Amino acid sequence: MKKILLIGTGGTIASDVTSDGLVPELTTEQLLAHIPAISEICEVDCVQLLNLDSTNMTPEHWLMMARCLRQHYARYDGFVITHGTDTMAYTAAALSYLVQSSPKPIILTGAQKPIGFDSTDSKVNLIDAFRCASEDLPGVSIVFNNKVILGTRARKTRSKSFQAFSSINYPHLGVLRDGVLLRYIRQDCGAAPVFYDALNTKVALLKLTPGVDRAQADFLLERNDALIIESFGVGGLPEHGGFYDCVREWMDAGKLIVLTTQVPSEGSDLGVYHVGYRLKRDLGVLEAYDMTTEAVVAKLMWILGQTQDRAWAERLFYTPIAKDILWPVD
């Protein structure tokens, strides 16, 4: 029987009703008490690392999780991390960069309703997560609503429904049917994981809106080492408002600037329209292509935690990690 470590970080799954609304209060042992059937799937040990509403999750907490995984990695066959849904996709992406090429499963799960509620998705999600953690499912993934989603491809797309997460620009790794994992894709892995312990959090995100000028970008770039711009459609910047000069000046000053798209599916393609073409041809801005914004944020933090050299940072950005970027690389 496989030995799995349950790492608790809080979230709705561990929440109880208070006068101030739902608050994470349950321990990992209390969660397990709700699902005795897990003893038939695997042996479980528990670590209560955090007990947070995931709105309060920070990059320092991602590093804590990576350190916890590193500390316990040799003694367990797989790992389940319970986590709030609101920032779970960011955490899954971050762990995909902090713990690379893991041959063992690292599964994140949570719920849209607390485990103590009569109508809850908590029990099914948690049991499914332990099933997946006991299988040959390498790397970081999210198990939710009977789906297995690659850690670098997940996004929360529904705020209340049980089908909270979607896999963006990549197929599901598998599905669970009647308690059985039907695996479609096996992630690449190494003989042993590669752990990292540094993130640079000076990464900002700007969502373009019609009529915006460069002032917001200037404000963010003054305070950060990288800026991700969520543009419209396949990508580009307005010809008004001084954006082209803004990008040129800050890139000359050594800042990293990445263009991505607000559109959830199919990615960017800066070469299609003139509003994007010269940004890439003349300035050499980085382009996210089919990456999720969550993955771009986490990857830039990881890259800038390794280097401030632009050429090296660009090579790392376009190097696929856990299938985070496929087009035009493949």
* ∠ Cα 210 214 219 (to 5°): 120
Could you give the 3-state DSSP secondary structure of residue 308?
Answer: coil
Question: Where are the extended beta strands (E) located within 185-314?
Answer: 194-195, 203-207, 226-231, 256-261, 286-287
Amino acid at 208: L
Do residues 2 and 78 make contact, with C-beta atoms less than 8 angstroms apart? yes
How far is it, in rounded angstroms, from Cα 97 to Cα 93? 7
How far is it, in rounded angstroms, from Cα 205 to Cα 221? 10
Amino acid at 89: A
Amino acid at 40: E
Rama region for 145: left / alpha / beta (φ>0; ψ in -120 to 50; rest) = left
Bridge-based pairing of strands 43-52 and 78-82 is: unpaired
How far is it, in rounded angstroms, from Cα 47 to Cα 146? 25
How far is it, in rounded angstroms, from Cα 163 to Cα 301? 29
Bridge-based pairing of strands 21-24 and 99-100 is: unpaired
For residue 8, which of 43, 66, 60, 49 has the smallest C-alpha distance? 49
Q: Which distant-in-sequence residues (6+ apart) come within 8 Å of 128 by Cβ?
A: 109, 143, 146, 176
| 12 classed as catalytic | yes
Q: Which of 9, 12, 109, 120 is catalytic?
A: 12
For residue 32, which of 156, 159, 168, 126 has the smallest C-alpha distance? 126
Instruction: Provide the annotated active-site residues.
Output: 12
